[in-house]
Chains A and B, each alone.
Chain A
């Protein structure tokens, strides 16, 4: 009987767990790591990016995102949309072709792989015969032309990947007709590029690596024209009228050829130019030319820079009429395309989209000066390396608007044009609340991101470096090229990972969303207090030095020096402006930070101790040294400055070398590569066998290094001395398993500015297992975590229960322990490490709402372990609820970067530039929900104008299509404009 009842209870709890917890990885924010291919569909208005790890990502209008992953762990080398269809083809490094489609399912589109294909050559043929080097998705949408390393062109029917052997264009067929006087006729080399005649889909041009271009008639299966270029071919472009061909070459030249009628073999190159000539130039890797309705065409090409002087620049040159600009990008150019205006995407080029290795840059070609359009997604999170992150849920509208306003002032230099890539419909409901993600960066900036929805949009950027004298020279602004410089460079893009002073790095952030106070702490022990000001202001920031050693002897700090504060007034732009600064001495990195805006106190910790600062009176309240006198490592400090100089030197050398190495895409000898890899693997294995990894088993002792490092710091209004009077208190936990509690005495509100805040030591808890304390939480009489400061004052949280007895939860890396208060006696605990060997790396408090009933919810601890698993631990009973594998255990930086939200979601870095968003909550889920419709197809394939390489646009789509696109755009716009309820209904109707 008893057993039955218990069983019933358990299953009830299990059901409840299912209603509360659910694990999903929902969306990846930021810029894909190591992009390797770019594709664009003008008809779908979708952008596709392939990466070196085999991912394929599609982006349309903000919120419209799809992601797919190839099973093969091979780099995506090319992406081509099939014209006017929802399919796309990817070519991988392993020579396999993959067909993907956007399939609508229950009103939402999904990206699915529907086929794969590898060319099989004749038996006994060397692999180069079928090694694909060029792909052309024919405008008919039914054919795929595959040029190979062996110089053949294979024709394949899609989407089924059926080889049409009889239509293949073999090298022999072509070679036989090559004029005898052509120097390279013995070896035409691989097929470098395939292009279709924009006016005659039966004509394609085959460009061979050696330089020869052959116009081929697909129907008659014969060569029409030979264009005997003598330089190594890099790319080709067929002008829109079909009358000319442009070819670009490895010596930095490009040529224009007449693609005239048949049998005109002695075609002279009409024009040849080395734009940055005289001295040897690098290759022009891609060239396109787009006409304008009235006036001269746009000519765009990448590369071609003088090898010696600017060989390391990553440039795209745009020439239109008399304007000539060499856009200088921040990293290697992967690919680019132009978007054309007009309802049928046949008008003047409106925007240039450039994918470089570290960011996506879109340039408005319609506005004077060609300004950059701010990207709503694919933002390089890592424009300076991310050093920490902080999430704030449910931002009050007022603060939100002020931050946005401050951000708008910073983005004045961006184009006013709307985002030009608008494919698909975003059907995701409006996010339930406004969430902010703050990222701290190596260069001392804090970036504010709108993390409410699928798009992680930049809102505002705060720089803390202005307060300090740094090595960086503010006049060293690279944006302005000198007058008359040739080539006419213009810097574009924001990726700038080279920090001049590593001490500026932001390590901890705490924002109070109610008061707008922000605390930012950094690598050199600096803690800046900032407040939001809508006006620019000029003032000096006074620094208060806090000695955390308190006369501890035998100390010699060998780390970096503290930052020099500017003594003259500094002009701060509208936004968050610093008003007071604390500098820890020794200037070790700040390891813990918390802010109590109601009490106007900020507490901070380093590896030497912790302090409490009253930012109303600008007065230091408390300093406590936690240093173990025998801890030499902590005393001397890291030699980080030396290291970072070394590192940056290494980086810059690498950068130079990378640019020197010719970046040929696909001519690497595979066998050599494989051999190389094998040798390396063998060496690694041998090394592993020689020195087996062993681990020392030793109990922790008080003499371990960094036991004094403060890991967590916490404010609570609770019962510290007796059970009838609650008092403000400060709690700090160290690496050595010690918790310090201080009782705070705050003057009454009316005398807050005059009387001093005092802190008295109250308790010291030494955990016997000595594991680092990573979290401290106080629970109220109902077992609920205490609310945030000002939360109750703003009526946004229930006031905590002060009748029942409070509990203290101490989370160490190994255990969760509940103590009673005020008498600290152990009540409950949950052991983690002793049982499964994992350790707590990250912990947060979250509230989980039930997905079934609106009013039920539970608080719990969200935990990420060093094994990469996420756990939910119930409060106040500290029982394991659920656990899911989340991050790979080898991904140390991913685990370290994890940040939890108050509603059971989380973010972690999957690469330096991407956050993965996950959700543990069954109620709150932010994931892309979007629909992409098949473009209208009217008229037969022959009538339609072809579309070379998916990059230029289609020409003769019916007006119907244009109208539809307009309607979609309108819906899109209004959705963005937050005219929610009515339009949402419209959309729903449209979907249904």
Chain B
């Protein structure tokens, strides 16, 4: 079946193999990476290949990190297609039977529970009342407050999950001066401040950063003594995983620490607790998230217990290497452990990221419509 529609090898990058699982059944087919089509087409296709035309489905896929992520709109569908390396693994569930959550580390950390839940218990008996609004599993975190236990209460360390997002980071910084207490008394020292938020940007949508917050650290490195341009460059260099420690201009929303080892998932307090008593604090309007409801914003405020080294985690080995031309064929065969020779081969150690792959290939592609080979 495949052979008849085989694409030329130089265009092999464009095909995505899809392995879809619904209950105990698997379906394999392929899609054109460049022309994935719309989500509803894809949804229909899934219903078609699984022959379940009238079943409401929750569609999830395993991303490169092993996270189980949802596919429920065009954006995350395209994302899923473009990041598939090389196989796109789909997990379908009846909506009313959904028993796992999407999210970072959901597969790696809870491999046993989540994956096995999907794989081993296709027909979960425990039926839960369907919750139709603001399912946490439909979202992945965009930001978090971290290290609450080790930072002074006046400071806040915010992590922005830029990676994989089309949303711009969306903020500006400026020079300014702040007052510090020194042994010589109060002293005015130069500092870096957030000067503007781009409406709809990641920074604004988190609600964790605000205009006039003083930037103290970027990814653990103090900015004191550095010029505005230096700090700009540091932030851009870390933009894929930006962790900024700020001293918020509005100190009323600070996390109130109870006891010493608030630690990991304690979530002793979040911005919302402060907010409830201070509804006038416009800095922390959650307007950007209001559309999806308060519950949806919850993950972004949960204090997470990151595994060691998570702070330092970066784009290591994410550089994309493409072997071009027939010359690379010999090694490909020796190294490749995939059965489909027509598929693009990436260095196994390298993880493939969507945006770049898409942008590189965009130019060389010309086919129209979704190519499906069954």
In the complex, identify which listed stretch (B84-92, B103-111, B179-187, B325-333) lies at the interface while the others stay far away.
Answer: B325-333
Q: Complex: how many Å from CA A838 to CA B226? A: 10
In the complex, identify which listed stretch (A127-135, A475-483, A829-837, A916-924) lies at the interface while the others stay far away.
Answer: A829-837
Asked if residues B322 and A763 are in contact (CB atoms below 8 Å), the reply is yes
Residue B336 is within 8 A (CB to CB) of chain A in the complex: no
Residues from 795 to 846 in A contacting B, C-beta threshold 8 Å: 814, 817, 822-826, 829, 831, 833-839
Contact of A721 among B239, B328, B363 (CB under 8 A): B328
Q: Complex: how many Å from CA A698 to CA B172? A: 9
Asked if residues B169 and A699 are in contact (CB atoms below 8 Å), the reply is yes
Q: Complex: how many Å from CA A699 to CA B319? A: 16
Q: With A693-B228, A697-B232, A697-B236 as known contacts, state yes or no: A766 contacts B331, CB within 8 Å.
A: no
Q: Which of B169, B173, B328 is packed against the most chain A CB atoms within 10 Å?
A: B328
Asked if residues B240 and A722 are in contact (CB atoms below 8 Å), the reply is no
A840 to chain B, nearest CB (A): 11
Residue B238 is within 8 A (CB to CB) of chain A in the complex: yes
In the complex, identify which listed stretch (B129-137, B296-304, B345-353) lies at the interface while the others stay far away.
Answer: B345-353
Residues from 669 to 723 in A contacting B, C-beta threshold 8 Å: 692-702, 721-722
Q: Complex: how many Å from CA A293 to CA B176? A: 73
* B interface residues, tally (CB under 8 Å): 57
**Chain B residues at the A interface, C-beta cutoff of 8 Å:** 162, 168-176, 195-196, 203, 219, 221, 223, 226-240, 314-325, 327-328, 330-331, 335, 347, 349-350, 353, 355-356, 359-360, 363
Query: Which chain A residue lies CB-closest to B175?
Result: A693
Residue A765 is within 8 A (CB to CB) of chain B in the complex: yes
Query: Which 3 pairs show the lowest CB-CB distances between chains A and B?
Result: A837-B230, A699-B239, A833-B237
Query: Which chain A residue lies CB-closest to B323?
Result: A763
Contact of B325 among A694, A761, A766, A838 (CB under 8 A): A761
Contact with B along A129-164 (1 / 0, CB 8 A): 000000000000000000000000000000000000
List, in ascending order, chain A residues with CB within 8 A of B171's CB: 696-697
Query: Which chain A residue lies CB-closest to B329?
Result: A721
List, in ascending order, chain B residues with CB within 8 A of A838's CB: 230, 233
List, in ascending order, chain B residues with CB within 8 A of A760's CB: 325, 327
Asked if residues A825 and B349 are in contact (CB atoms below 8 Å), the reply is yes
List, in ascending order, chain B residues with CB within 8 A of A761's CB: 324-325
Residue A769 is within 8 A (CB to CB) of chain B in the complex: yes
9 A-B residue pairings within 8 Å (CB atoms): A694-B174, A696-B171, A700-B239, A817-B319, A825-B350, A833-B234, A836-B230, A836-B234, A838-B233
Residues from 747 to 803 in A contacting B, C-beta threshold 8 Å: 760-769, 771
List, in ascending order, chain B residues with CB within 8 A of A743's CB: 325, 327
Contact with B along A717-745 (1 / 0, CB 8 A): 00001100000000000000000000100
Asked if residues A766 and B169 are in contact (CB atoms below 8 Å), the reply is no
Asked if residues A837 and B356 are in contact (CB atoms below 8 Å), the reply is no
Q: With A722-B330, A764-B324, A824-B321 as known contacts, state yes or no: A695 contacts B173, CB within 8 Å.
A: yes
Query: Which chain A residue lies CB-closest to B223?
Result: A837
Asked if residues B238 and A722 are in contact (CB atoms below 8 Å), the reply is no
Asked if residues A767 and B173 are in contact (CB atoms below 8 Å), the reply is no
Q: Complex: how many Å from CA A388 to CA B170? A: 37
Q: Complex: how many Å from CA A702 to CA B325? A: 23
B197 to chain A, nearest CB (A): 11
Asked if residues A701 and B355 are in contact (CB atoms below 8 Å), the reply is yes
List, in ascending order, chain B residues with CB within 8 A of A834's CB: 219, 221, 234, 237-238, 314
Contact of A692 among B174, B219, B223, B316 (CB under 8 A): B174
Query: Which chain A residue lies CB-closest to B215?
Result: A697
Residue A383 is within 8 A (CB to CB) of chain B in the complex: no
List, in ascending order, chain B residues with CB within 8 A of A387's CB: none
Q: Complex: how many Å from CA A21 to CA B306? A: 42
Query: Which chain B residue lies CB-closest to A813?
Result: B233
Residue A629 is within 8 A (CB to CB) of chain B in the complex: yes
List, in ascending order, chain A residues with CB within 8 A of B172's CB: 694-697
Residues from 827 to 868 in A contacting B, C-beta threshold 8 Å: 829, 831, 833-839, 866-867
Q: With A697-B169, A697-B172, A764-B360 as known contacts, state yes or no: A771 contacts B230, CB within 8 Å.
A: no
Asked if residues A767 and B319 are in contact (CB atoms below 8 Å), the reply is yes
List, in ascending order, chain B residues with CB within 8 A of A822's CB: 331
Query: Which chain A residue lies CB-closest to B170?
Result: A698
B97 to chain A, nearest CB (A): 38
Q: Complex: how many Å from CA A697 to CA B347? A: 32
Asked if residues A763 and B231 are in contact (CB atoms below 8 Å), the reply is no
Q: Complex: how many Å from CA A867 to CA B229? A: 10
Query: Which chain B residue lies CB-closest to A814?
Result: B237
A824 to chain B, nearest CB (A): 5
Query: Which chain B residue lies CB-closest to A703?
Result: B359
Q: With A695-B172, A761-B325 as known contacts, state yes or no: A826 contacts B319, CB within 8 Å.
A: yes
Contact of B233 among A694, A762, A839 (CB under 8 A): A839
Asked if residues B240 and A695 are in contact (CB atoms below 8 Å), the reply is no
Known: A702-B356, A814-B237, A837-B233. 8 other contacts (CB 8 A): A694-B196, A696-B232, A697-B171, A702-B355, A761-B325, A824-B347, A837-B229, A889-B227
Query: Which chain A residue lies CB-closest to B234?
Result: A837
Q: Complex: how many Å from CA A867 to CA B234? A: 13
List, in ascending order, chain A residues with CB within 8 A of B227's CB: 837, 867, 889
Asked if residues A721 and B327 are in contact (CB atoms below 8 Å), the reply is yes
Q: Which of B171, B233, B318 is packed against the most chain A CB atoms within 10 Å?
A: B233
List, in ascending order, chain B residues with CB within 8 A of A765's CB: 319-322
B169 to chain A, nearest CB (A): 5
List, in ascending order, chain B residues with CB within 8 A of A697's CB: 169-173, 203, 232, 235-236, 239
List, in ascending order, chain B residues with CB within 8 A of A814's CB: 233, 237
Asked if residues A721 and B331 are in contact (CB atoms below 8 Å), the reply is yes
Q: Complex: how many Å from CA A838 to CA B234? A: 8
Q: Complex: how many Å from CA A64 to CA B318? A: 56
Asked if residues A768 and B315 are in contact (CB atoms below 8 Å), the reply is yes
Asked if residues A699 and B234 are in contact (CB atoms below 8 Å), the reply is no
Query: Which chain B residue lies CB-closest to A627?
Result: B363
Q: Complex: how many Å from CA A693 to CA B238? A: 22
List, in ascending order, chain B residues with CB within 8 A of A722's CB: 330-331
Asked if residues B319 and A771 are in contact (CB atoms below 8 Å), the reply is no
Q: Complex: how many Å from CA A834 to CA B168? A: 19
Q: Complex: how many Å from CA A838 to CA B225? A: 13
Asked if residues B168 and A698 are in contact (CB atoms below 8 Å), the reply is yes
Residues from 857 to 914 in A contacting B, C-beta threshold 8 Å: 866-867, 889
Query: Which chain B residue lies CB-closest to A629?
Result: B363
A895 to chain B, nearest CB (A): 13
Query: Which chain A residue lies CB-closest to B231?
Result: A837
Query: Which chain B residue lies CB-closest to A834?
Result: B237
Asked if residues A695 and B239 are in contact (CB atoms below 8 Å), the reply is no
B203 to chain A, nearest CB (A): 8
Query: Which chain B residue lies CB-closest to A697?
Result: B235
Residues from 210 to 247 in A contacting B, C-beta threshold 8 Å: none
List, in ascending order, chain A residues with CB within 8 A of B236's CB: 697-700, 833
Q: With A743-B327, A762-B325, A826-B316 as known contacts, state yes or no: A695 contacts B353, CB within 8 Å.
A: no
Q: With A629-B363, A721-B331 as known contacts, state yes or no: A769 contacts B355, CB within 8 Å.
A: no
List, in ascending order, chain B residues with CB within 8 A of A629's CB: 363
List, in ascending order, chain B residues with CB within 8 A of A762's CB: 323-325, 327-328
Q: Complex: how many Å from CA A839 to CA B235? A: 12
Q: Complex: how many Å from CA A701 to CA B360? A: 12
Q: Complex: how many Å from CA A629 to CA B318? A: 24
Q: With A765-B319, A768-B240, A768-B318 as known contacts, state yes or no: A695 contacts B228, CB within 8 Å.
A: yes
Q: Complex: how many Å from CA A629 to CA B363? A: 8
A743 to chain B, nearest CB (A): 6
Q: Complex: how many Å from CA A825 to CA B331? A: 14
List, in ascending order, chain B residues with CB within 8 A of A867's CB: 227, 230
A706 to chain B, nearest CB (A): 15
A821 to chain B, nearest CB (A): 11
Q: Complex: how many Å from CA A296 to CA B176? A: 72
B310 to chain A, nearest CB (A): 16
Asked if residues A768 and B319 are in contact (CB atoms below 8 Å), the reply is yes
List, in ascending order, chain A residues with CB within 8 A of B317's CB: 825-826
Q: Complex: how many Å from CA A793 to CA B256? A: 73
List, in ascending order, chain A residues with CB within 8 A of B324's CB: 761-764
Asked if residues B173 and A694 are in contact (CB atoms below 8 Å), the reply is yes
